[in-house]
C-alpha cells in the first residue's frame, strides 16, 4: 500500500502559480500512472523546466506569449514569458512561431534599413549560475536564411549591482544560410565570473547588417547556459631576467594572457637565483589556480617571497607556508590559488602545494 502522505508531499507546488500536481496523477489500485515528464508532473511549469534544464527561463520557448502563434511580440501586451522585448527602428519584427520542432522566436526583416533590430533579453542572477570559478557559456541553436544581410546577434555580459557592464561582453554576428547550428559566446572570456558581477544579461537580436536583408528570417530555437572550469588550461612560457615585482613582468611568449594561462613554465633564469615578489592578479577571481614550473636546465632557482612589501601591488603578494620564502628548484613546481581571508578580503596568491 502506497503512503498517501508521500503523494501529498509530491503534490505541493514548488513555485507559486504552477500546476497542481493532483491533477496530473491518476491512481488505479493504489498505483500511480507513469508521468510523461517527471519535472512537470511534480508541479513545475514549462518556463521553470527551461530554467532547471538550461539555466534560462523559458529556454526552449515552450510557453508562448498571450497572443500565441505568429503574432508580433510586444513587451506590454504580448509579452514572451521570461523574456523582455525591444525594437530599434521599425523594419524588423519578432514573433513566437509554433512548428514541428516546437515554439521558436522568428525574427523577420521587412526592409533593408541598416541597424534596425528586434531583441529579446533576459537577466539572470549570478548566484543562480554556480561557482564563480566556472566559466559560463551562453549557447543558442538558430537557423538563418541569409549569409550577409540579416544576422542573429548574441550578446552576453555580466552586470554589477548598478547595472554597469563588468567584465567583457562577447557577441557573435555570424550567418549560416539555411543551416541549423549551435553558436555560443563566453562573457568575460575564459576568466570566469567577475567578483563584482550580480547579473548575467543575455541579448539576442535579429539585426539588419547589410542592404540585402529584405524578407530574410532568422529563427531562434533555444538558449542554454553551460559551464566550463576556469581557467582555460593554457600553458605560457617566460624567462626571469630580473627580480620581479609583478610576475611575469615581461609577459608571456606568443602574446599569451596570464588571465587565461593555468601553467607558467619558466624556461630560463638569468642568474643563480631570482626573486618573485608578486604575481599579477588583474582580473583574477576567487579560486583562480596557477601553477609555476621551473624548467631552467642550468639548475637556477626562483624564490617566491612571502608577503613582500616590494610587490607592485598588495593584491599581487604571495602567502607561503609558515611565512617563509619558498624556493622553486630545477624541474620543480608550485600550485597557487588566489583568494581572500578573512571573508574575501586581503586577497593573495596562496601556496597550496609544491612538487
The pLDDT tens digits for 10-57 are: 444 444 444 444 444 444 344 443 343 555 566 677 778 778 888 899
DSSP tally for the chain: helices H, then strands E: 3, 21
Q: What domain range is 318 assigned to? A: 234-354
Q: How many domains is the chain partitioned into structurally?
A: 3
The reply to whether 63 falls in a domain is no
The answer on 247 and 185 residing in a single domain is no
Average pLDDT in the chain: 84
Which has more confidence, 43 or 201? 201
The pLDDT assigned to 26 comes to 43
Of 177, 206, 229, the domain-final residue: 229
Residue 131 sits in the same domain as residue 238: no
Tell me what the mean pLDDT of segment 200-204 comes to: 96
- Are residues 182 and 238 both part of a single domain? no
Give the residue-averaged pLDDT of 168-196: 86
**184 and 223 inside one domain:** yes
Over residues 108-123, mean pLDDT:
94
Output the pLDDT for position 22.
Answer: 46
Q: Are 289 and 211 contained in the same domain?
A: no
Domain contains 325: yes
Q: Is residue 72 part of a domain?
A: no
pLDDT in the model for residue 193: 84
Model confidence band, residue 272 (pLDDT cutoffs 50, 70, 90): very high
100 shares a domain with 29: no
Final residue before a domain boundary, out of 229, 249, 279:
229
Q: For 273-306, what is each residue's pLDDT tens digit?
A: 999 999 998 877 777 889 999 999 999 999 999 9
Report whether pLDDT(182) > 50.
Answer: yes
The per-residue pLDDT for 14 is 45
- In SS3 terms, the chain reads as CCCHHHHHHHHCCCCCCCCCHHHCCCEECCEECCCCCHHHHCCCCHHHHHHHHHCCCCCCCCCCCCCCCCCECECCCECCCCCEEEEECCCEEEEEEEECCEEEEEEEECCCCCCCEEEEEEEEEHHHCCCCCEEEEEEEEEEECCCCCEEEEEEEEEECCCCCEEEEEEEECCCCECCEEEEEECCCCCCCCCCCCCEEEEEEEEEECCCCCCCCEEEEEEEEEEEEECCCCEEEEEEECCCECCECCCCCHHHCCHHHEEEEEEEEECCCEEEECCECCCCCCCCEEEEEEECCCCCCEEEECECCCCCCCHHHCEECHHHCCEEECCCCEEEEEEEECCCCCCEEEEEEEEC
CATH number at residue 207: 2.60.120.200
Does 196 lie in the same domain as 122?
yes
- The confidence score (pLDDT) of residue 257 equals 77
Confirm whether 206 is domain-assigned.
yes
Q: What is the pTM of this model?
A: 0.60
Phi-psi region of 138 (alpha: psi -120 to 50; beta: other; left: phi over 0): beta
Does residue 209 sit in the same domain as residue 304?
no
Residues 210, 157 within the same domain: yes
The model's confidence at residue 229, banded by pLDDT at 50, 70 and 90, is low
Categorize the per-residue pLDDT at 79 as very low, low, confident or very high, splitting at 50, 70 and 90: very high
Grid-cell match 527602428, residue found: 89
Would 214 be classed as within a structural domain?
yes
229, 244, 273: which is the final residue of a domain? 229
Is residue 247 located within the same domain as residue 139?
no
Domain co-membership, 249 together with 219: no
260 and 306 share one domain: yes
Amino acid at each position: 500500500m502506497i503512503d498517501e502522505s508521500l503523494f501529498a508531499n509530491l503534490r505541493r507546488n514548488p513555485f507559486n502559480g504552477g500546476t497542481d500536481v493532483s491533477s496530473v496523477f491518476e491512481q488505479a489500485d493504489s498505483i500511480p500512472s507513469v508521468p510523461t515528464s517527471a519535472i512537470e508532473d511534480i508541479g513545475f511549469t514549462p518556463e521553470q523546466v527551461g530554467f532547471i534544464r538550461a539555466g534560462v527561463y523559458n529556454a526552449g520557448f515552450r510557453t508562448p506569449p498571450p497572443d500565441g502563434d505568429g503574432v508580433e511580440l510586444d513587451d506590454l501586451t504580448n509579452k514572451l514569458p521570461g523574456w523582455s522585448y525591444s525594437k530599434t527602428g521599425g523594419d524588423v519584427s519578432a514573433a513566437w512561431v509554433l512548428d514541428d520542432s516546437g515554439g521558436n522566436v522568428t525574427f523577420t526583416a521587412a526592409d533593408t534599413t541598416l541597424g534596425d533590430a528586434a531583441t529579446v533579453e533576459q537577466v539572470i542572477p549570478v548566484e543562480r549560475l554556480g561557482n564563480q570559478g566556472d566559466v559560463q557559456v551562453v549557447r543558442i541553436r538558430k537557423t538563418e536564411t541569409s549569409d550577409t544581410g540579416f544576422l542573429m546577434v548574441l550578446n552576453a555580459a555580466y552586470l554589477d549591482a548598478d547595472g554597469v557592464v563588468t567584465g567583457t561582453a562577447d557577441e557573435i554576428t555570424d550567418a549560416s544560410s539555411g543551416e541549423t547550428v549551435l553558436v555560443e559566446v563566453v562573457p568575460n572570456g575564459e576568466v570566469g565570473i567577475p567578483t563584482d558581477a550580480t547579473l548575467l544579461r543575455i541579448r539576442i537580436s535579429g539585426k539588419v547588417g547589410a542592404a540585402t536583408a529584405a524578407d530574410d528570417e532568422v529563427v531562434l530555437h533555444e538558449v542554454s547556459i553551460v559551464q566550463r572550469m576556469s581557467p582555460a588550461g593554457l600553458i605560457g612560457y617566460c624567462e626571469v631576467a630580473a627580480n620581479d615585482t609583478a610576475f611575469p613582468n615581461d609577459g608571456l611568449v606568443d602574446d599569451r594572457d596570464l588571465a587565461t594561462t593555468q601553467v607558467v613554465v619558466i624556461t630560463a633564469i638569468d642568474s643563480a637565483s631570482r626573486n618573485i615578489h608578486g604575481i599579477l592578479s588583474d582580473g583574477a577571481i576567487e579560486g583562480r589556480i596557477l601553477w609555476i614550473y621551473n624548467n631552467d636546465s642550468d639548475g637556477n632557482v626562483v624564490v617566491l617571497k612571502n608577503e613582500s612589501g616590494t610587490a607592485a601591488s598588495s593584491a599581487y603578494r604571495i602567502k607561503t607556508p609558515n611565512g617563509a620564502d619558498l624556493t622553486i628548484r630545477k624541474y620543480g613546481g608550485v600550485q597557487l590559488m588566489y583568494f581572500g581571508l578573512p571573508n574575501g578580503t586581503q586577497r593573495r596568491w596562496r601556496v597550496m602545494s609544491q612538487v
